[in-house]
Structure 1
């Protein structure tokens, strides 16, 4: 998806695409492992959450809460209801449920139990979703404090904690602090994960985006190219996320005024997106718009008009007529 700070840049979200993909099989097995230790209704609630059926999950957990016999069950159910409410975008209600879960779990768990860290992190995420960055930092740091004591120093969950804090600073526009935490996360991830792991590609892309926003384009290119190197290995050649990686490099060259290089990478991105996305997908509109603006800056106005018209057609087919993309 496009980033809020710069609609030419896109965030990377790696997904599994092939029913026969071993990663998909691993994910399916992981879901089975995570839910099989619970009773039937608990498994049903967790499964509904995992597949995105949030209203059904809420119904299941409310029924379980009405029949809960002890605090262990209630603490877990409140936590799951917090997750449901966060997924539904009801962040204040999510925080309320997480708070109830925390109150119970603090009484029955040790101070360094990773469950407490998970609750703190989810409270932080809800505050982050609300734009309450100082509160988000407060709770992420509480979660990090526990994670550092509960897990070995190279555990991937510790990298996740650092990245989460970095993402809050990014939302605040504090790019130096963002880099500090993203780099801590990357340092751990490089030791904990295989060299071509998709999470490393995402880390490289996130760091590149920060450098790009700081105007440090050579550093942005360095990290976007690392992202692209991994993405080309782990994804099929026509996957839209590969198009995203090419687009992001094109964007940096565009910002540097190196229009021929920008067109090279924007063009690679556009070819992939035309194959992999529906014809009225907004990312395809953005891709055509990027190319059109480069041609405009190069003074090649007929080519610029051609791509900008393609972009406008998609926007008109996909957005309401009052949307600012169409008005502009």
Structure 2
């Protein structure tokens, strides 16, 4: 049983990627303490308030410029902030009204600007401000459309925002803010594409957002360094505050990218992105391990370290112990979320070969998961880890009993034909084989095949591997006809899926069975076919299957 993917928010590690994807911003507002607001802060407000989401313009009546009273830039900010408040409450119509009113004010030719960036040509400053704020408001409206699942409208509005951001001149005091908004728009387009399951396009937008976020930090630093003369404490503090805010946004985007890459199976890049996110956040918050908002960030890091292609179990263990501590602090030591963390820790100890620790922690998790609760996913995982540990310790009778307990529990949560049941049947079969009870193993594997055919269909390579294992069991009982049937089914599936290595293995096994049963002609045909598929699969001559096939062909030729 693998480490879970999104604890609480999503199911276990294997299933998380198969569920309907959630908004990264919505998901990570829980994970990293992001604001529920629609927008990041404007130039006229403190960047400490952590708002973020986006929007689109609304038609308004054409008003003669001479009839418009002068307005202040802070009035536009105030409307934007009110829209953010409504957005956070889920009052999207009201949010759109505020954003639309702000867009209407931006048409006014007489806007008194905050002038916080120093002096530049008044007309250029005004143009930069209008384009930046238009882009920001469009991003916020796009966020409303995303929340309402109006994805076409969202993309249209977000692309308008990007065009407005690009119109802000490089020399404008608002240029770095426009890069910030550009990053937000790119992220939200990436989010829409993620929801539409166009993952490669989504990852491209997130990668572009990362570039824009890094550029924001560079621009802030360049602007600060260009300031001549001694810098007051206030100026230095403001610079540090803004850089920290930009770095936090970069860290957030890196985390989104990590989740997306994990979803795509690109674990190395996901790990790299998540590590960089953690480093940035530690730079901003040195006591990150004391920040309970880090729970899901640490969980993701631990999960990635546990992946079969990474296997940095000791590093993962450190993160999962921190997650357990935080969850105990947040929810209490007997909360189901703590059981989830214990299951992750038990899994790591299982991989490290520390079976006694795995067993002890699994029993602790079972106690918590059963604490006044009905059957739940965490108790099933805990029992599975307990059974795994018992099996590794040679306690076969106890392990079978525990696996049967898992099947009983899962019958209350899942369909009989859920793939999780097939996994347990195969684990039970392995124990019976170890105990030399081949007939019991055959019965368990046949149950696994029934489940896999229903859950995965008749052309699954996973099903083929179970057929192959069943064929080996029949060979042990000298039921050669049944063994040939099973391996032939496995061979057909592997060929259907163009799995040359799998086909080479099955041809080799069929050659061996037919040789034992005295059908040397057909046996030789399968050995030759095995060599051909092995060559197509580019298997080396040192591969055990290739070496065995070569030996058998040579023995035929010499006889």
Distance 1:77 1:26 in 2: 16
Decide whether aligned partners of structure 1 residues 150 and 44 sit closer, same or farther in structure 2, where only a CA change above 3 A counts.
farther
Residue 257 of structure 1 and its aligned partner are, at CA, apart by 0.8
Decide whether aligned partners of structure 1 residues 98 and 28 sit closer, same or farther in structure 2, where only a CA change above 3 A counts.
closer
Partner of 2:513: 294
Distance 1:146 1:298 in 2: 55
Find the partner of 1:192 among 390, 397, 413: 413
Which deviations, in whole Å up to 9, do the C-alpha atoms of 1:62-118 show, x marking residues without a partner? 323433476212344333322222222111111122223333433333011222222
Distance 2:545 2:493 in 1: 23
Q: Is the 8 A contact 2:445 2:470 kept in 1?
A: yes
Find the partner of 2:400 among 175, 179, 197: 179
Distance 1:278 1:211 in 2: 29
The 10-residue stretch of structure 1 (168-177 or 87-96) with the greater mean CA deviation from structure 2:
168-177
Find the partner of 1:262 among 478, 483, 489: 483
Partner of 1:122: 344
Q: Is the 8 A contact 2:362 2:385 kept in 1?
A: yes
Find the partner of 2:358 among 112, 136, 142: 136
CA radius of gyration, larger in: 2
Which deviations, in whole Å up to 9, do the C-alpha atoms of 1:192-213 show, x marking residues without a partner? 2122222222222322232233
Partner of 2:280: 63
Gaps of 5+ in 1: 1-24
Which deviations, in whole Å up to 9, do the C-alpha atoms of 1:156-207 show, x marking residues without a partner? 3322221122122333343222211110000111222122222222222322
Distance 2:23 2:393 in 1: 38
The alignment partner of 2:457 has SS state of coil
Aligned ranges for residues 81-230 of structure 1 at < 5 Å?
81-87=301-307, 88-149=310-371, 151-152=373-374, 154-230=375-451
Q: Is the 8 A contact 1:112 1:150 kept in 2?
A: no
Distance 1:160 1:35 in 2: 29
Q: Does 1:38 align with 2:251?
A: no
Residue 259 of structure 1 and its aligned partner are, at CA, apart by 0.6
Q: Is the 8 A contact 1:65 1:77 kept in 2?
A: no
Decide whether aligned partners of structure 1 residues 319 and 145 sit closer, same or farther in structure 2, where only a CA change above 3 A counts.
farther
TM-score (norm 1): 0.80
Distance 1:220 1:304 in 2: 27
Find the partner of 1:54 among 271, 290, 300: 271
Q: Is the 8 A contact 1:114 1:150 kept in 2?
A: no
For this pair of structures, how many residues does the alignment match? Answer: 301
Which deviations, in whole Å up to 9, do the C-alpha atoms of 1:221-260 show, x marking residues without a partner? 2222222222222333322223223223222211111111
The alignment partner of 2:381 has SS state of helix
The 10-residue stretch of structure 1 (313-322 or 164-173) with the greater mean CA deviation from structure 2:
313-322
Decide whether aligned partners of structure 1 residues 101 and 238 sit closer, same or farther in structure 2, where only a CA change above 3 A counts.
closer
